[in-house]
Structure 1
């Protein structure tokens, strides 16, 4: 196994100047990894870590995983869940990850835009909306394959968590529209606890919170009757013309969610209240009359969603060590790593995300919507309802799947090239049930196109 990886490394080394990194304190360091920068015009430098599959990398696909929110460093998700070496939250040391994604795929993570993580560049080049983010990401992929041409023939899958659902389909569409030129072997998309339809996300959140007993029964029934024509299924709280009472309900719902003290990314985990988010929502004075400011609200939990319940200390401590920065090839003048930096962001979203996703799927690409059923950040109800509304024939009804004997790991539903996997008792993108998440990912990749 290791011999095959080393042979591929030698082949790659002949065609490019990169050399594998060795992470300080890694328990064995027998996995081939690269870390560096993809340099674009106009002083933009995006930091990446590329992990070669632990076995048979030439035949394994290449997965590209992006951070869920602008300004949020993908290195947290990488060193928390995905990497062959993860940072222990108890003492900040590196430990081997038995459920690393590199066991089933080659894995590339990129921090973008220039504010995020160790990426850097002129502030004027910040990504401001999903279309600019799509274009920047496309450029970075082109640059990556110029740096690592040996992997261009591998099947490619692109994805991420939560807010990536707004722009990864746009990225896939751009790749397919320029396939003759770029020769990228894109096969599909995978998104964890995806936020896809802005308009429907508030309705789905209300329905999910109600199912968990987090919405007052009388309020729910009143809103369903007076705001939704008797059924939540047809409700749309995103319209600026919505009744003030109805608008106040959904804004108050988000406010209550943030001040509840619950971990909205995994209801099984503890979480301290984030007064910054609560005060933001409270002080903005949201009301039905100002419902256009829901764009600010959606930015709020795009920007802050992954930070509220996370102890950054072990990640800051390890990634900002001088020897770790040197191993990752970070220039001395690049600022210290932070989990999150505020990024100017315009809430410009796809006008018809259903149309975009259908065009992607109809281009013979596959789509996996997966995630944890205990996350209220883009709840899995949103993914399930979205997949059903795409209109494709259901080719496999909802069925349980098992990783351990006699214990249901989750449920799988399929609509042709669209698959939905809900992982039981897990948080956002399956966190907390890493073996089950890896199993679902491997099952999806093994089918191919």
Structure 2
């Protein structure tokens, strides 16, 4: 218990928690002067409450063989779940005896981190500290294991550079549970006005997303609270231990940079199986650093339905198709008679389309071009012939007309019908 700063001019109640089953101890109250000598500190009315051990209940003798009860050497009974959790529930210490707790996996951080590994690559990490190595107002008042300032625990050291929502974790590995009932227990000291968040989770691959686990509730103390203590957290694990699993304990920071967050005394019940191997690692994806590429994705048609007409193949009798053959330079016959224009004729080809034959699937561009050029050549010949022959036709027509005129004239001397050969007399 501690109190600092100006508390006003009134009496306040202070409550200090004594260790469980404490005996033969002294109470020490210390006052430290601050920067000013004008302050006053006064104490009054000390009293102890519930500082004795209740006698064993008569029903405790009936607990022998009860899997949910543990009988202390003093004949007191405690819940089986409270055994071997680094908390003296039996005042004689029999519930924490090494001979009783040999099959529990336990770590009190007094010598090292055991098999727990702090998260790497983060600006905030869990670090192992001895209680008296940190200023009093920045740490728990005592270590949970030894109930003294000489014990060790894990703590986060916050500062102004740590961003909000920063996650710091410790983890280790468990194998497939041999039987149901595997439970993790640990103790936390959580003092923060603007609460951070306790995270308990698991995952099957390193680097995968942390999946949350359910755990017992806890109460965070205010930063300026005069009374705050270690609290036990229970997290059942059997349901998720279907394969080697990473078990994770962590804290996600809040807005309070003066918060105190510590972990101590982590234990697994005997149903949990330690795993000494490695679990898979999620492959990391290397970002593409080459030139940018453009991918064109067709957009599906979302308009009204369309109707497609499929031609039905002809299945009737054979048909005869007359297809003009393009001009290929073959000689042509030109008929010209006197007094009539010249006539140029070109041969045509008649083909018969068979009933079961299909037209060859070849390009007809050449045939089309040949037909066009052949037609142009024929037209050119007609024009040239017309220009060349037309004068001759006209000359022949004129000559024929002249001949007919001459033939119609009488043969003999030409006489004037008004002229008479009879002599005229001058009368």
Alignment TM-score, normalising by the size of structure 2: 0.24
Q: Which has the higher contact order (CA 8 A, sep 6+)?
A: 1
Alignment TM-score, normalising by the size of structure 1: 0.23
Structure showing the higher helix proportion among its residues:
1
Larger-Rg structure: 2
